[in-house]
């Protein structure tokens, strides 16, 4: 809320945004900018939402339950409504010249919100939430896309920070509802070979 208010009132957060923007200009290399735009296109909201719904549909079929697909739809809807409402309310122009940024507002970043929320939801629905590597992989992907958004001048840094807070809050709220059966073997549980070795041969 404080960050959103600061963006709305053009407070000191704008100075940080401008410093990051000027720094990225000094580091600009056209081929890298084009590559960054390709990355942001691949991980755009329509793509990440579609992946989430496909994974949730497969999980619903496997579990014979509508629950994964239902809550995945709730997650995607909450993300879309939250980001679009703030975009229309604040109407903040982006650092670039993209028409979509001028029409819909740059704050918060839809790319960041959808990747964090949909990516986290996929981890939960697949039952991978106990695996540290799953969350580290998602974090690495999010950092890559964030870097590309800033480097390609598609968003201010505060747009991204606002999206992280919004999507993180929604994900935490939905986590108990999205979580599927864990794929990790419980600690202390015997491995199949151990269980076979422990069996009484006379049984």
What secondary structure does DSSP assign to 20-50, as a single string? HHHHHHHT--HHHHHHHHHHHHHT-HHHHHH
In the block, which residue shows the tokens 């990747």? Answer: 115
Q: How far apart are CA 146 and CA 140, in angstroms?
A: 10
Query: What's the Cα-to-Cα distance from 84 to each of 13, 66, 70, 76, 91, rounded to whole Å?
Result: 21, 27, 21, 12, 10
pLDDT tens by residue, the chain, 203 residues: 555 555 555 555 667 888 888 888 888 888 999 999 999 999 999 999 999 999 999 999 998 889 999 999 999 999 999 998 988 888 887 786 554 445 467 888 999 999 999 999 999 999 888 889 999 999 999 999 999 999 988 888 989 999 999 999 999 999 988 886 655 554 554 554 444 444 444 54
pTM for the structure as a whole: 0.78
What is the Cα–Cα distance from 98 to 118, expressed in whole angstroms? 24
8 Å CB contact between 178 and 124: yes
pLDDT at 144: 96
In the chain, the N- to C-terminal Cα span, in Å, equals: 65
DSSP reduced 3-state for 69: helix
144: its two tokens: 């890559």
Q: Check residue 195 and give its pLDDT.
A: 44
d(CA 64, CA 69): 11
How far CA 87 is from CA of 8, 82, 105, 124, 198, in Å, comes to: 11, 9, 5, 28, 62
Determine the pLDDT at residue 101.
45
pLDDT of 192 reads 47
């Amino acid at each position: 809320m404080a960050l959103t208010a600061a963006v709305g009132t053009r407070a000191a957060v704008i100075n940080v945004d401008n410093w990051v923007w000027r720094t990225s200009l000094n580091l600009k290399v056209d081929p890298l900018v084009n590559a960054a735009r390709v990355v942001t296109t691949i991980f755009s909201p329509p793509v990440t939402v579609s992946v989430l719904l496909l994974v949730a549909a497969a999980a619903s079929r496997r579990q014979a339950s509508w629950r994964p697909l239902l809550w995945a739809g709730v997650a995607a809807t909450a993300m879309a409504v939250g980001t679009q409402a703030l975009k229309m309310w604040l109407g903040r122009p982006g650092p670039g010249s993209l028409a979509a940024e001028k029409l819909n507002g740059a704050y918060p970043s839809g790319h960041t919100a959808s990747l964090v929320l949909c990516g986290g939801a996929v981890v939960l629905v697949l039952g991978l939430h106990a695996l540290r590597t799953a969350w580290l992989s998602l974090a690495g992907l999010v950092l890559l896309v964030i870097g590309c958004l800033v480097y390609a001048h598609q968003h201010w840094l505060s747009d991204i920070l606002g999206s992280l807070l919004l999507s993180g809050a929604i994900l935490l709220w939905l986590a108990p509802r999205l979580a599927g059966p864990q794929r990790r073997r419980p600690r202390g549980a015997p491995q199949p070979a151990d269980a076979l070795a422990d069996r009484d041969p006379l049984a």
